[in-house]
Structure 1
């Protein structure tokens, strides 16, 4: 009798564990953000507000509502990142879809991913919850937001990683036909939080196919409280006779677990047959964590250009703006 009971218990536990394995793992996360902004020029507009018309940014505005659904079972999984709102309208390549991809773990170190995924270039990302500053840099606006294609990630060790990607040209949306065979090859080398990124190919269906993008993203803890982030980028096409280059530093000091101050100096230049043009931007940011999920970000920003490159203010040589944002993540 005892053997029958033990056998029954063993079978019951085995069935529960098997059911749990078959069920897989589901996670839900996301962010919501809103802001208020003003400038000291007497006109509307704020540089670096990620919306379709930053020249219209004034008083209160909406960022986006971003919800990420992920499901993994065994070696395979899927991620559906849906985003709505002005910030999403400016960044998404396919309607409400920010990211949509499937992946398969070929081994513990090797993963293949197919679909639409956010870019591996640059220091900043689309979601403001993952950025220290709320307004974005010129480098962020110049580079791609997302890619549609396939990539292969290889974790050589805990510190060393490699990635290779074959995608559509990054300016092609899912509604566009890729009749011109406008593709890109991308690669990344990562070591201890420092990343060297590379892209070669076309930008869109009408661009030349000799575009080159080089990007370095990384950072260092200079002390327990002071951090320095770095983003340097270069892009060029000889056939299109166009390109850009720039560098931004992210100087951040945590005064407590709740309060940090940061300073982002940036220098950005475009090149073309019409001549070079440059812009500089200096952003002082306070970051206050009200709770683990809720933070206030305040950006005081000064942009300067004699070449008409200030976003939202092409006719001005300088402008100062103040933006306050509330960002909630879950």
Structure 2
């Protein structure tokens, strides 16, 4: 009897172990499947006030604001809600990135040609990992140029630079990324005209190239005779001090040129707080953009300094910011309290960004 009992006991233990292993394996497979799907995004709001200029916005247009994109509304204002859904398979995947609110509308200003997509599609693309070294992406994706991006959670400063604002935001087309080695990468792209993301309106195309080395990137965009050369990079000078760099030159093929450089020193004072400065010099020709002056055939430049603090409280980021824009010419963007153009604008901003 003892022998039979022991045999049954062993069998039961073996069966139980098999069941447990199977259950764990099934749970692991479910977890692996669940991890392929992702859902993330941000919500951002802010308060902004000019310190030496008018703070009204008749008709929804501010009388005085920096000549760069986003975060230009007076008083308590909305940024955007950003919702990103993605699927990451072993070889293929997709990203659907939707934006709602003033920041999102400004970011995709040239996209909503058809009401079916409206002011919501920021990115929409699929990709194929052809091999460990080659990835093909097709669809609508944010630009590969520049240090800053559309999402406020990925930028250190809440307001954006002139280099970012004058450059492209998004492209629609096909790009190929090549991992040439552990340090070198290459990207080649053929795309619709810059920021026209829903369709090709005129049968013309833009071409992109990016060469990367250890986190430093040299970018080239050629678009119907115009071109932009851009360098984006950064260095960890110590465990707590980082220096970001962005420089660009744009030749508009007779429609105006611009050039500039921006430095981003950032110091982490603790695990939850970092302070950073963006110093930027930017120049344009023919006043074709946002600096502006009285001479329509002249050149203009601006020096902008932005001091930002970034405090992290769980998934919430609080960013107080002081910004000073000083232009070479009186600007229609820098109106004083009597609505007269002036050469400088100082402003304060307090932003809250929740990321999930």
- C-alpha deviation, 1:247, in angstroms: 0.4
- C-alpha deviation, 1:27, in angstroms: 0.6
* SS of structure 2 residue aligned to 1:317: strand
- C-alpha deviation, 1:311, in angstroms: 4.5
CA–CA separation in structure 1 for the residues paired with 2:153 and 2:332: 25
Aligned residue number for residue 227 of structure 2: 212
2:298 aligns with one of 257, 275, 300: 275
Dislocated runs of 4+, deviation >3 Å: 8-24, 48-52, 308-314
1:233 aligns with 2:257: no
1:231-281 CA-partner distances (Å, limit 9, x unpaired): 00000033x252100000001111111111111111111124923211110
CA spacing shift, 1:309–1:136, aligned 2, 3 Å: farther
CA–CA separation in structure 2 for the residues paired with 1:261 and 1:166: 39
Contact 1:277 1:309 in 2 (8 A): no
| Structure whose alpha-carbon radius of gyration is higher | 2
1:127-176 CA-partner distances (Å, limit 9, x unpaired): 110111000000110001111111001112332211011111113242xx
CA–CA separation in structure 1 for the residues paired with 2:178 and 2:245: 24
CA–CA separation in structure 2 for the residues paired with 1:81 and 1:147: 14
Which segment is superposed worse, 302-311 or 74-83? 302-311
Aligned residue number for residue 253 of structure 1: 267
1:17-54 CA-partner distances (Å, limit 9, x unpaired): 888877781011101110001011240243267449x3
- C-alpha deviation, 1:312, in angstroms: 5.7
1:66 aligns with one of 82, 107, 110: 82
Aligned residue number for residue 265 of structure 1: 279
CA–CA separation in structure 2 for the residues paired with 1:229 and 1:283: 14
CA spacing shift, 1:251–1:12, aligned 2, 3 Å: closer
1:156 aligns with one of 153, 160, 180: 180
1:81-100 CA-partner distances (Å, limit 9, x unpaired): 01100000000234201100
CA–CA separation in structure 2 for the residues paired with 1:224 and 1:170: 38
What is the correspondence of 1:1-330 to structure 2 with a 5 Å cutoff? 25-44=36-55, 45-47=64-66, 50-51=69-70, 54=72, 57-92=73-108, 93-94=111-112, 95-174=119-198, 178-201=200-223, 209-238=224-253, 240-272=254-286, 274-291=297-314, 293-308=315-330, 311=333, 313=335, 315-330=341-356
Contact 2:105 2:120 in 1 (8 A): yes
Aligned residue number for residue 205 of structure 1: none
Contact 1:48 1:135 in 2 (8 A): no
- Number of residue pairs the alignment of both structures matches: 316
Task: Please report the RMSD computed on the Cα atoms of aligned residues, expressed in angstroms.
Answer: 2.7
Contact 1:48 1:136 in 2 (8 A): no
* SS of structure 1 residue aligned to 2:196: coil
* SS of structure 2 residue aligned to 1:213: strand
CA spacing shift, 1:308–1:170, aligned 2, 3 Å: farther
* SS of structure 2 residue aligned to 1:256: coil
**So what's the TM-score if we normalise by structure 1?**
0.87
CA–CA separation in structure 2 for the residues paired with 1:230 and 1:251: 9
CA–CA separation in structure 1 for the residues paired with 2:23 and 2:329: 73
Which segment is superposed worse, 96-105 or 310-319? 310-319
CA–CA separation in structure 1 for the residues paired with 2:209 and 2:125: 18
CA–CA separation in structure 1 for the residues paired with 2:32 and 2:346: 55
